[in-house]
Structure 1
Amino acid sequence: MLGAEAILAALEAGPMQSQGEHLSEAQRRLLAEHLGSGKLRNGWDSRDWFCTDPFDANLSKSKTHAWGFSPENTRHISDAGLTAEEMPQLVLKWAFAYPGATRARSQPTVVAGVVYVGSQSGSVYALDLQSGCVYWRFDADAEVRSAISFGLDGAAGDGGGESVYFGDFSGSVYRVNARTGKLLWRAKVGDHPDVTITGSPQLHRDRLYVPLSSTEWARATDPSYACCNFRGGVVALSVTAGKQLWKTHVIPQVRQELTGDPENVRENDTYSGAPVWNTPTIDRARNLLYVGTGQSYTSPAHRNSDAVIAMDLDSGEIKWSRQLLSGDAWNLACLLPGEHVNCPEQNGPDFDIGAPPILWSDEQERELLLVGQKSGMVYALDPDLEGETVWKRKLGRGGFSGGVHWGMAADSQQLYVPIADTEYFGKYEKLPASPGLFALDPKTGMQMWFAPAGDHCLPEQRPACDPGLSAAVTSVPGAVLAGGFDGMLKAYTADTGAVIWQYDTNREFTTVSGVSARGGSIESDGPVVSEGHLLVNSGYLYGGRLPGNVLLVFGRSL
C-alpha cells in the first residue's frame, strides 16, 4: 500500500532509518521496489504545471505567518476573508498532488496570494493561490512535515528579507528566499542521530525557536539497541545566519535519585525522552516561551515528561515546569509480542502533550495557558504562578492517538477542543469514546457545547477509517473547522456547534498537473483560511490510517 517511493523514504530518512542504515543504497532501492510492488521513479516532470507568469506577489507588507497563526498559538484567524455565513458556498477550486507521497501533513501557509507548503518527499513548493501552478520548488534533505513560517528581515541582503523557514525529518532547519526558492542557510540542530522536527519552528523577532523530537521511541524495537538517551528540547537560531544562540534540553544530562539529593548522583545514568512535538508558544510580556513535552522513553519517568515547560526567550533557561502526569514511560517496544527488551518498567500510558499550549487572555486581560493532553484532559494553568492549575476537565477516554492530539483553537470567548478517542489503538480506561468537537469556557472549563464527529466510514475501510478528530482545528469569526481520521472536513458554528458545511476528502481527485491524487485521513496539521480560501491536506498513511497525497483548495462558488 505504501508504494516504493514512500518505503525508500522511510528507510533513508524516516522511522525505518535505523533498519535501513545497515543496507547499501542499492539494497534499499531493491527492497523498496519489492515491498512496494513497483519501480522507483527517477524524478517527475513538472514542465506542464509551472507558472507561466512571473512571481510578482507583494510580500513586503505581510505579517509573520506560522503554524498557530499567532505567537500565542491560538489557531484563530481574525482576517480570513471568509465569513461563517459564506462557508456553505465553498466549492473545490483546485487540487495539488504530492508525487509519490502517502501522507500530507505540512500545514500550508498563505502569503499575498502565494501558498508555501512542504511534502513527504522533502520538496517545498511555492504555489499560486488562484490556480495551483508552481512558482518554485526547493528540495530539502528529508520529509518536511512542519508548517512553513514566513517572516521579514530588513537586515538581510540579496532579497533575503522575505524568507520562509522550516525543518525536516532529519533535524535540519532551512531559511529560503520566499520569492525565488534560493537557499539562504541550513542548520543542523540535533546532537542525537534520531533527532527530528515535528513541531513547526516559531519565528519571533530576530530568532527562530525550533522544537526537538525524535524517532528513538521507534528505534527501541530493535532488541540490540541500548535504549534510550535522546532528550527533548528547544534550539534558538539567529534569523540572519542560522547560528545557534542556545540549546536547552528539558531533561538534564545526569540524573539524580528521586530524592533530589545532589550528592546522590550515578555517573552516566541518564533519563531519556520528553520530546517536544509541538510549536513553541511565545509570551512577549513575560519574555518566555512555553512547550509541552511527551513521555519518557525509560523508567523512571522524569519530572519534566508530560509537562509544560517555561523557558527564557533570551537564554533558554528553564524558569518553571509543571508536570501534568507522572510515571509515564513508554516506547514502541512495549507493543511487540514476546519479550519486551526495551520496554520501560512503567509501560505507558503514552499521554503526551502533543498540542502546543495556548496563551489566552480575556477582556480583563487575565491570561491563562490552555493545555490539552492525549489523556483527554484539558487544563487551564496560571502563567504567573508557575503553571498552577486553575481548572481541569476530562473530555475523552484518551489513548495513543488522543484525547487531544495535535492542536486546539481559541477565540476571545471559547476554547475549541478536538477529541480523537480512536478505536484503532488500545484503550486505557473503561469509558465511552467521545470523538468530536467540544467548546469550553476558557475561564471556567464549563462545557458550552459538544458536536459528535459522526460516523462516515464504510465497513470495508475499517479500522483505518475512524471518526476521531486528531488533527489541529482552526477558528475563524463565527465558525470552527475540523478534519477527521475519516477524511471528513466540517465547518461548525462557533455558538452552537451545528455543522454548516462539510466535504468528504476521502476519494480520488484530478489535480492541476493532470495526474490523479487521493485524499484520506486528515491528521496532524489543520485547515487554513486565508484571503477568502480554505486549504487543507488530506492523506495520512501512518499508524494505520487512510493514505493520501493531496492539497485541496476551496473558494466561494460564483
Structure 2
Amino acid sequence: MPIWRIVAMGALAGQWLCAGATLANAGSKAGSEGARVYEQHCAGCHGADGQSKFAPLREALGFYEPAAIQRSLESGTMAVFGAALSATEKAAVAAFLGSQEPGAGRQAGVEPKCRGEEMRFDFDHSIQAGGWGFDTGNTRFLPAGQARLANDEIPRLQLAWSRVFPGSINMRSQPAIAGGALFIGSQPGTVYALDARTGCVRWTFQADAEVRSSINIGRITPANGKERLAAFFVDVQLNVYALDAASGELIWRETAAPDPFAHSTGSPVLSRGRLYVPISGHEVVAKPRGDMSCCTTRGAVAAYDAASGKLLWRTSTIAAEARVQRRTKAGEELWGPSGAMVWSPPTIDHRRNLLYVGTGTNHSSPATDTSDAIIAMDLDSGAIRWVRQVLRGDAWNAACWLGPAENCPLENGPDLDFGAPPILAQLQDGRDIIIAGQKSGNVYALDPDEDGRILWQAGVGRGGAAGGIHWGMAVDATRERVYVAISDRDHPVRYGPGRPGLYALELRTGESVWRAPAQDVCDGRPGCDPGFSAPVTALSGAVFAGSLDGHLRAYAADNGAVVWDFDTAREFSGLNGASGRGGSIDAVGPVVAAGMVYVNSGYALFRQMPGNVLLAFSPASP
C-alpha cells in the first residue's frame, strides 16, 4: 500500500513526520522554537526538498488548527515520530505550522440551519445515490431515474452552492443522497445531514475520529419491531456506527478491529440486513525505521447485523498468524506475513451468496498467495471460497523507499495493489462478469462461476504505485462499457511514459472503444497533476470524472468528448460563512442525483493540492 493511501487515526489525518530530517527553509519564523523543531524533525518530509515526495507540504499543514497538529503528535499516527519530541516542542511546532494558510476556512460563521420544508425527509422514495458504489455491485452507474440529469442539461451546469469544511485538507467522504438530504462525513469527524437542494444543516453527529467512508442508508427493524431508516458509516479508527437517518440519534456503535494499527479506508456496504466492513491498516508507513518492529496487521472483512450491531463474522485475508521472521541490526523483530489489506468496499453477489474484495500488497515477508488478488468470501460465514491472484511476490513497505533497507521486505515488490473494488456486472446475454482494475494499469475480467478464471486482460495505463487504476472504475451494463480512470502519476518508481486519462472498453471483450487522454493544464501549479486517480461516475449518456488537477469534467459516453469542465482549484465563499478553496480531486468521485451534481475538492496527501470544499451544481435555465 502506498504512502498516499494512509490516513492518520488521530485528528490530523494522513500526515507523516520524519525524525532526523534535513534542514529546510522555515520562513519568517526561522528564529522561533517551533521553526527549529520543524527544521530538525519535520522538513525532511514536509519541506519542498523533503525526501518523502508524497508527504503533504508545510503549506497544507497550515489548514489545521495547532491543537489538531498537537493531538496527532501525541496520540495519532504521528505519535510514532512525535515520541522524539518533548511536550514543549510538540506545542511549539504545532503553533508554528498551524493556522497559517489563507483559505483554510477557520472563520466559519453561523451554520445555516434548515427551517420548515427544508427539514423534511422524504424517505418514501428510493435512495437516489447511496453508498460508495451506488449499488452492491459497485458499478458506480446511476440510471436516468436517479440522476435525473438530461444530456442537454450537462453543458449548462453551474455552481449552486459550496460548503467549506474548516480544519480539513482532504475531502474523502463521498456524499450520499436520500430523502432529499445529503449525508457526508468529514476529516474532523463530524457527520452532516444537509438539505441536498440548498445545503442547509438538518442535523450533525460527532464521531470519535475522522469519517472518510461514504454513508450507507437503509431500513432496519430493531428488536422493538419498529422499522426505521438508518445511516451507517465507519470512522478511521474502525468504529462502526448506525444512526437514525432522520434525527442523527445513535442507534449502535461497535469497533471492527482491536489492532491499533488497523484502520478504515474503504466504505462499508449495506445489503439485506447486513453491514460488511472492509479493514485496512497503516503499519506499512508507521514503522519504517530500524528501531521499530514490523509488521503484523492483516486485511479483513467484518460482517454485522445491521439492526443490532452484532458481529456475525470476521475473516482475515491471510489465514496464518504473523510470527518473527528475522531481526534488524537494532534487535527489533520483523514479523510476517502481514498486509493484503482491503482498501475498498466489498462487492456483493447474492446469486452466488458471495462477496468479492480486492487486496493490497503484503507489508512484510513472506509474500502470500492472497496479496494483489480478488478474493471471494461466503456471505453467511465469511469462509474464503476462492482466490485469484494476479501478481505474486509483491511485498512492500515505506522502508523500501526511505530506508533502512533491512526493514524493506525481501521481495521489495512494485506495490501494485487492488485499490479499487471489483465490479459485478451483467452482460446483455444474462451472464455475470467481474471487472477488476489494478494499480498496474491492467483491467481484468473474471468469471464468477469458475473461481475467478480470467476471461480477458487489457493493459490501459502505464501503472505504478500511485496507479494505474487507483480508486475505481464504472460500468454501464446497458452499453456494455467499462470506463477506466488512469492516474499514471509521476512517481519515484518509474514504469515508462504515463498515459493518464479516461478510457472506455468493451465489457465483453476488453477492446478499446475510445480514449480521452488527459490534457496538462497545471501550468506549474504546486501539487497539480493531470492524472485521474479518483473513481468515475457513469450516467446513461455521460461520464463524470474528477482529476488531480482540480477539474471536474463530463465526457460524452458515445465518444469521450468533453461536454463540460469546471476548475474547482480556486477559492470559494461557503454558505456556512467560511472562506475555503478547492484542490485535487481524489479518493472519491462525483455524485449525480435529482438533477444535481456534487463533488468533494481537496486532497493534500502526497503533495497534491489541499482543499476543503463540497461543491453542488445544477443546470442553468436554457
1:553 paired residue number? 616
1:530 paired residue number? 593
Distance 1:157 1:99 in 2: 39
Task: Mark the CA change 1:10 to 1:500 in structure 2 (over 3 Å): closer, same or farther.
Answer: farther
Q: Percent identity?
A: 47
1:35 paired residue number? 97
Q: Kindly indicate whether the alpha-carbon contact (under 8 Å) linking 1:333 and 1:340 is maintained by their aligned counterparts in 2.
A: yes
Distance 1:136 1:468 in 2: 36
The alpha carbon displacement at 1:300 in A equals: 2.4
Task: Mark the CA change 1:158 to 1:384 in structure 2 (over 3 Å): closer, same or farther.
Answer: closer
Q: Kindly indicate whether the alpha-carbon contact (under 8 Å) linking 1:253 and 1:270 is maintained by their aligned counterparts in 2.
A: no
Partner of 2:313: helix, strand, or coil?
A: strand
2:338 paired residue number? 272
Q: CA offsets per residue over residues 187-206 of structure 1, 9 Å max, x none? A: 11113111111110000111
1:446 paired residue number? 511
The alpha carbon displacement at 1:534 in A equals: 0.2
2:172 paired residue number? 105
1:261 paired residue number? none
Partner of 2:356: helix, strand, or coil?
A: strand
Task: Mark the CA change 1:87 to 1:37 in structure 2 (over 3 Å): closer, same or farther.
Answer: closer
The alpha carbon displacement at 1:24 in A equals: 8.4
More displaced stretch, 64-73 vs 103-112: 64-73
> Alignment partner for residue 542 of structure 2, among 465, 479, 499?
479
Q: CA offsets per residue over residues 38-79 of structure 1, 9 Å max, x none? A: 59x9x9866442223362111244348211011100000002
Distance 2:224 2:523 in 1: 55
Alignment of 1:226-265 (within 5 A): 226-254=293-321
Task: Mark the CA change 1:11 to 1:224 in structure 2 (over 3 Å): closer, same or farther.
Answer: same
1:263 paired residue number? none
2:49 paired residue number? none
Pair 1:59-2:59 in alignment: no
> Alignment partner for residue 356 of structure 2, among 269, 282, 290?
290
Task: Mark the CA change 1:207 to 1:29 in structure 2 (over 3 Å): closer, same or farther.
Answer: farther
Task: Mark the CA change 1:502 to 1:65 in structure 2 (over 3 Å): closer, same or farther.
Answer: same
Alignment RMSD (CA, Å) = 2.3
Q: Kindly indicate whether the alpha-carbon contact (under 8 Å) linking 1:142 and 1:169 is maintained by their aligned counterparts in 2.
A: yes
1:18 paired residue number? 80
> Alignment partner for residue 152 of structure 1, among 219, 238, 244?
219
Q: CA offsets per residue over residues 452-484 of structure 1, 9 Å max, x none? A: 12111021x14x110000000000111000000
The alpha carbon displacement at 1:428 in A equals: 3.7
Q: Kindly indicate whether the alpha-carbon contact (under 8 Å) linking 2:108 and 2:576 is maintained by their aligned counterparts in 1.
A: no
Task: Mark the CA change 1:435 to 1:38 in structure 2 (over 3 Å): closer, same or farther.
Answer: closer
Partner of 1:351: helix, strand, or coil?
A: coil
Distance 2:416 2:384 in 1: 22
Alignment of 1:358-377 (within 5 A): 358-377=423-442
Distance 1:328 1:311 in 2: 22
2:583 paired residue number? 520
The alpha carbon displacement at 1:153 in A equals: 1.2
Q: Kindly indicate whether the alpha-carbon contact (under 8 Å) linking 2:335 and 2:365 is maintained by their aligned counterparts in 1.
A: no
The alpha carbon displacement at 1:8 in A equals: 4.2
Pair 1:133-2:195 in alignment: no
AA aligned opposite 1:59: F
1:334 paired residue number? 400
Alignment of 1:328-477 (within 5 A): 328-336=394-402, 339-412=404-477, 413-423=480-490, 425-430=491-496, 432-459=497-524, 461-462=525-526, 464-477=527-540
Task: Mark the CA change 1:411 to 1:11 in structure 2 (over 3 Å): closer, same or farther.
Answer: farther
Task: Mark the CA change 1:475 to 1:179 in structure 2 (over 3 Å): closer, same or farther.
Answer: same
Q: CA offsets per residue over residues 115-169 of structure 1, 9 Å max, x none? A: 0001111111111112111111111111111111111113465977211111111
Partner of 2:606: helix, strand, or coil?
A: coil
The alpha carbon displacement at 1:225 in A equals: 1.8
Task: Mark the CA change 1:327 to 1:219 in structure 2 (over 3 Å): closer, same or farther.
Answer: same
Distance 1:26 1:152 in 2: 50
Task: Mark the CA change 1:356 to 1:126 in structure 2 (over 3 Å): closer, same or farther.
Answer: same
Task: Mark the CA change 1:398 to 1:8 in structure 2 (over 3 Å): closer, same or farther.
Answer: farther
The alpha carbon displacement at 1:30 in A equals: 4.4
Q: What 5-or-longer segments of structure 1 have no aligned partner?
A: 257-267
Partner of 1:543: helix, strand, or coil?
A: helix
Alignment of 1:479-498 (within 5 A): 479-498=542-561
The alpha carbon displacement at 1:246 in A equals: 0.4
The alpha carbon displacement at 1:220 in A equals: 2.0
Q: Kindly indicate whether the alpha-carbon contact (under 8 Å) linking 1:230 and 1:273 is maintained by their aligned counterparts in 2.
A: yes
2:155 paired residue number? 88
The alpha carbon displacement at 1:11 in A equals: 3.6
Task: Mark the CA change 1:533 to 1:25 in structure 2 (over 3 Å): closer, same or farther.
Answer: farther
The alpha carbon displacement at 1:86 in A equals: 1.3
Partner of 1:116: helix, strand, or coil?
A: strand
Distance 2:223 2:109 in 1: 31
The alpha carbon displacement at 1:514 in A equals: 2.0
Q: Kindly indicate whether the alpha-carbon contact (under 8 Å) linking 1:492 and 1:501 is maintained by their aligned counterparts in 2.
A: yes
TM-score normalized with structure 2 length: 0.83
The alpha carbon displacement at 1:509 in A equals: 0.5
Task: Mark the CA change 1:451 to 1:166 in structure 2 (over 3 Å): closer, same or farther.
Answer: same
2:37 paired residue number? none
